[in-house]
Amino acid sequence: MRESDTKLHHLDARLIWAGYREMIPLSIFVSAFGAAFGLAAIQAGLSGSSIIAMSTLVFAGAAQFAALKLWGAQVPFFTIMITVFAVNARHLLMGSSLYPWLRHLSRPKRYGVMVVASDANWAMSMRSFSVGEPGLGLLFGGGVALWSFWVLGTWLGVYFGNAVRDPKALGLDMVMGCFLLAMVVRGEKSLRMSAAWAVAAFASLLAYWYLPENSHVIVGALAGGITGIFWKEQGDER
């Protein structure tokens, strides 16, 4: 990391609150998916308290839906564990990409911030870092916003689930994809970054068509990450 970037790891209450507020608009849409999960979990036979506890402690929407598909009278624990790991494996790369700034925090703060890391607040924090602005407030504050609205949505789904039976029918499944695309467009502009995204997209499509379910998440992330690692632009730290 360049010497000029050493203040980008700054984290205080003001930055956290700003990150929370900035993420609220997207969090509202996230609550709709939380409601859909709550309803689906009730229909799968889980109790209301266990559903809300799952969303509170796990906070991984895609993994929770994937686990729900495997839920039954005899829960295949090992299969669920592997599936959840596969869906969430991208967090390994998220943590790696954030390490240059996270390493300045104490271990309790570092892990506390990463507990609420997800695609949206990670993308926003990385965009902030790329333009020379502190991003950990967005990472943590935005993560708390997403988490709180996810739990609220789950509670609404458990007790008032009929309001959102099918988020896809309302086009809500496109919100996160459009948001992340906007982060790419607004982010760092360079041949290296464009190549990394292109390789990730192409690899993900191939994996989606030809490899087992959910493997495209890992393959795309690894392909893009490896491209970024080995493609060094002039001026990059070696």
For residue range 79-138, list pLDDT tens digits in order.
788 878 877 877 877 888 888 899 899 999 999 999 999 888 988 898 888 888 899 999
Sort residue 59 into left (φ over 0), alpha (ψ -120 to 50) or beta. Answer: left
Specify whether 99 is located in the same domain as 217: no
Specify whether 78 is located in the same domain as 176: yes
DSSP string, the chain: --GGGTTTT---HHHHHHHHHHHHHHHHHHHHHHHHHHHHHHHTT--HHHHHHHHHHT--HHHHHHHHHT-SSS--HHHHHHHHHHHHTHHHHHHHHHHHHHTTS-HHHHHHHHHT--HHHHHHHHHHHHTTS--HHHHHHHHHHHHHHHHHHHHHHHHHGGGGS-GGGGTGGGHHHHHHHHHHHHS---HHHHHHHHHHHHHHHHHHHHS-TTHHHHHHHHHHHHHHHH-PPTT---
> Is pLDDT above 70 for 229?
no
Specify whether 111 is located in the same domain as 198: no
How many beta carbons lie within 10 A of that of residue 8, not counting itself?
19
Q: Averaged over 203-210, what is the pLDDT?
A: 85
> pTM to 2 decimals?
0.73
- The winner for highest mean pLDDT among 66-75, 121-130, 180-189, 226-235 is 121-130
Number of domains in the chain: 2
Specify whether 11 is located in the same domain as 104: yes
* Percentage, residues of the chain above pLDDT 90: 23
Q: Averaged over 140-163, what is the pLDDT?
A: 88
pLDDT of residue 24: 93
pLDDT of residue 137: 94
d(CA 199, CA 10): 32
Q: pLDDT band at 238, cuts 50/70/90?
A: very low
Specify whether 165 is located in the same domain as 197: no
Q: What is the mean pLDDT of the chain?
A: 79
Specify whether 41 is located in the same domain as 157: yes
Question: Do residues 122 and 94 lie in contact, with contact meaning Cβ atoms separated by under 8 Å?
Answer: yes
Specify whether 160 is located in the same domain as 199: no
Q: Averaged over 209-222, what is the pLDDT?
A: 74
Specify whether 39 is located in the same domain as 15: yes
Specify whether 172 is located in the same domain as 212: no
Specify whether 154 is located in the same domain as 222: no
pLDDT of residue 140: 96
Specify whether 80 is located in the same domain as 141: yes
Query: Any idea which of 170-174, 189-193, 196-200 has the lowest mean pLDDT?
Result: 170-174
Residue ranges making up the domain that contains 217: 190-238
Specify whether 168 is located in the same domain as 197: no
> Is pLDDT above 60 for 184?
no
pLDDT of residue 86: 75
Q: Which residue has the higher pLDDT, 198 or 233?
A: 198
